[in-house]
A and B are shown apart, each in its own frame.
Chain A
Amino acid sequence: MTPPPPEPELRPHTYDGIQEYNGRLPNWWLWTLYAAILFAIGYWSWYQWLRLGLDGPARVTRQLDEIEAQKLAESAAAHLDDATLWALSRNPVVVAAGRRTFESNCVACHLPSLRGKSENPAAIGPDLTDQIWIHGGRPTQVLHTVTTGVPVKGMPTWGPILGPQRISEVVAYVMSHHHEGEPIVPAAP
């Protein structure tokens, strides 16, 4: 065999009889280290020294603001006035969407005809097509009733489940069975 090249130098320390060679790291490995150092300097300059980037808390605050803005924009739908809800109740697209939600969630008590106890005395929910209203018959009052529910009687709090948009649609569907200006007869609670 050809004579082998000389062994690399050994480090002086010995642990449990184990010694290590004093070999060099590959240069490409060192370059990843240098690149990481350069990146760290750039990163520190950007965020800590020049403050060009948003720091953590500022970024979180910004994101919370964005979420808040989105929530406010969504709840604008929940702060609809009577006129807007009446307008929505004449829009076939909104009414059709509301009808789908109604048929998924409301027919159990109010029946597909919306007539509830008027159609079947055993039904749980009251008639939504007549002019008698237990919790107020203006569209905003109906919206409030759907959103917060009437827990003592079993009308669920739909707000967190359906969200403002689907609630305004379902109210539009209910109000599509009524006309603006028709009499509202308060019922004995």
Chain B
Amino acid sequence: MSAPAPPQPTRATVTTIRADGSRQFLYPADVRGRFSRARRLVAGLFIALYLSLPWIRIGGYPAVFLDVAHRRFHLLGRVFAAQDLWLIFFLISGVGFGLFFVTAMLGRIWCGWACPQTVFLDHVYRRWERWLDGDGVQRRELAAAPWSAGKVGRRAAKHAGYLLISAVLTHLFLAYYVSLPVVWSLVRAAPGAHWSIFVFIALATGALYFNFAWFREQLCIVICPYGRLQSVLTDEHTLTIGYDTARGDCIDCLRCVRVCPTGIDIRQGLQMECIGCAACVDACDEVMDRLARPRGLVRYDSLAGLGGQPTRWIRPRVWLYAGLLAAGATAAALAFASVRPAVLSVSRMIGAPYYFDRDSVRNQILVRLINKRPDPVRFTLTVSGLPPGFVVGGNDRPLELAPLQEDVRLLVISEPRAHFASGAVLVIGADDDRGDRLARPISFLGPGTALP
């Protein structure tokens, strides 16, 4: 039995959407070659990284543990509290500018080599599909074949595998948020003991299953905004995958079309659907090797390079994006360095700004401390910048704060009235038992002080 004719890609249409709007499924053929090997290696490293982060422990906590329940975020041994959420701005802008830079230089290298959608689709789900149902032609034949007991069995096995993989991935994904021991205890408990989590996991598993079993390249082509940005981020000197029209020795074997996971014909030029996976490069090289012709009819090159011009790597766009990236990275580094493990705020106590009688002038200062560390911390309050004669009451005992606890303490600071002079600034310090120090200034007020 022969497979039905595969689709004919054109530049004007999306291959996977037929003229009547229905879905054209793709059955990309296997490909071997240097880029496929390298891509598989990179994908293996990424999958190992994604799956091992919850298992690696740094400083007593998983390397990445986004503990939403306690609003505490562990990243590679550092702990962030909900108060530090503003750092996400710098993280996202840094990643964004990094993507600008990489895209201007190397095109959609992220999509083809590192994006979780590609990594898990090409190297997990499609591997399982390939192992069960064979190469592209066999899969297309099976899809076109009438329903039989054998086909039902094969399909049931395939989708059961997809569901199993999705469930495993979802549970490991959940471990990023609740940690592995909690995942394990949730798995062993009856669903009725925690319905909301059970339903969430079921829905997330369903979403992953739908995405990787059916939706696939539609995410890259229709949903993901990054592919659309390519046309403004890249230019004729950006590294892309292209077809050397000048060579003119294409034998029209369509091998590059058969292996394409988004269903385009790379010979028609750079297109929005191209995720830069280099499957067509390997496919063409293999054919050229067999024909004893030089490799590189389809190759990684810039549009300028494909047109016979030299590729200019350094150009204004690259400077601009590199400058933005450097600025973003610097701002992010400064922001992350400024995060302190506690919050100290100092304010004047409700009531009069100061009290005085014949002998003394008194200020009452409310100190508020929040412990952002994951364990209890003991703070010692100090008041410095005092001229002689000051008396401080209220700080003779350290302040013990449980994780995320917040407490206030009243400091009563008085000075003999005869010594009082305007303009004294006190520094309220909080030293914790880990050697960290926070400090805030506050002015000492009294009769005749001009309020700032």
Contact present for B222 and A156 (CB under 8 Å):
no
Contact present for A5 and B17 (CB under 8 Å):
no
B366 at the interface (CB under 8 A from A): yes
What is the 8 Å Cβ interface bit string for chain A, positions 106-138, against chain B (1 contact, 0 not)?
Answer: 111100100000000011100000000000000
B362 at the interface (CB under 8 A from A): yes
B19 at the interface (CB under 8 A from A): yes
Q: What's the minimum C-beta distance from A125 to chain B, rounded to whole angstroms?
A: 9
B364 at the interface (CB under 8 A from A): yes
Stretch of A22-30, A38-46, A75-83 lying at the B interface: A22-30
Contacts of A23 in B (CB 8 A): 12-14, 17, 19
Task: Report the bound CA distance from A108 to B411 in whole Å.
Answer: 6
CB contact between B252 and one of A1, A26, A105, A157 (< 8 Å): that residue? A1
What is the 8 Å Cβ interface bit string for chain B, positions 303-318, against chain A (1 contact, 0 not)?
Answer: 0000000000000000
CB contact between A149 and one of B19, B351, B355, B393 (< 8 Å): that residue? B351
Task: Report the bound CA distance from A107 to B17 in whole Å.
Answer: 76
Dominant secondary structure at the A interface:
loop
Contacts of A2 in B (CB 8 A): 8, 252, 254
Contacts of B391 in A (CB 8 A): 122
Contact present for A154 and B19 (CB under 8 Å):
no
Q: How many A-B residue pairs have CB under 8 A?
A: 97
Q: What's the minimum C-beta distance from A97 to chain B, rounded to whole angstroms?
A: 13
B409 at the interface (CB under 8 A from A): yes
A187 at the interface (CB under 8 A from B): no
B408 at the interface (CB under 8 A from A): yes
Q: What's the minimum C-beta distance from A20 to chain B, rounded to whole angstroms?
A: 10
Contact present for A124 and B21 (CB under 8 Å):
no
What is the 8 Å Cβ interface bit string for chain B, positions 179-221, against chain A (1 contact, 0 not)?
Answer: 0000000000000000000000000000000000001001000
Known: A2-B252, A104-B407. A29 touches B222 (CB 8 A): yes
Contacts of B358 in A (CB 8 A): none
B350 at the interface (CB under 8 A from A): yes
CB contact between B222 and one of A4, A26, A103, A104 (< 8 Å): that residue? A26
Contact present for A24 and B10 (CB under 8 Å):
no
Contact present for B351 and A8 (CB under 8 Å):
no
Known: A28-B218, A29-B222, A154-B352. A105 touches B408 (CB 8 A): yes
A52 at the interface (CB under 8 A from B): no
Contact present for A161 and B408 (CB under 8 Å):
yes
Task: Report the bound CA distance from A28 to B396 in whole Å.
Answer: 69
Q: What's the minimum C-beta distance from B313 to chain A, rounded to whole angstroms?
A: 32
Known: A24-B17, A29-B222. A151 touches B396 (CB 8 A): no
Q: What's the minimum C-beta distance from A39 to chain B, rounded to whole angstroms?
A: 16
Contact present for A124 and B362 (CB under 8 Å):
yes
A179 at the interface (CB under 8 A from B): no
B22 at the interface (CB under 8 A from A): yes
Q: What's the minimum C-beta distance from B260 to chain A, rounded to whole angstroms?
A: 16
A153 at the interface (CB under 8 A from B): yes
Contacts of A109 in B (CB 8 A): 393, 412
Known: A8-B19, A24-B17, A108-B393. A154 touches B351 (CB 8 A): yes
Closest chain A residue to B20 by CB distance? A24
Contact present for A154 and B10 (CB under 8 Å):
no
Contact present for B412 and A124 (CB under 8 Å):
yes
A15 at the interface (CB under 8 A from B): no
Known: A26-B17, A157-B350. A4 touches B8 (CB 8 A): yes
Task: Report the bound CA distance from A57 to B414 in whole Å.
Answer: 52
CB contact between A26 and one of B21, B349, B394 (< 8 Å): that residue? B21
Task: Report the bound CA distance from A4 to B268 in whole Å.
Answer: 11
A182 at the interface (CB under 8 A from B): no
Contacts of B222 in A (CB 8 A): 26, 29
B228 at the interface (CB under 8 A from A): no
Q: List 30 A-B contacts (CB under 8 A).
A: A1-B250, A1-B252, A2-B8, A2-B254, A5-B8, A8-B12, A23-B13, A23-B14, A23-B19, A24-B20, A24-B21, A26-B14, A26-B21, A26-B222, A27-B22, A28-B23, A103-B397, A105-B408, A112-B396, A124-B362, A124-B412, A124-B414, A151-B352, A152-B352, A154-B352, A154-B362, A156-B350, A156-B351, A156-B364, A157-B350
Instruction: List the 7 shortest-distance A-B pairs measured between CB atoms, nearest first.
Output: A108-B394, A108-B393, A108-B412, A24-B21, A154-B355, A27-B21, A151-B351
* Chain A interface residues toward B at CB < 8 A: 1-2, 4-5, 7-8, 21, 23-30, 103-109, 112, 122-124, 149, 151-154, 156-157, 160-161
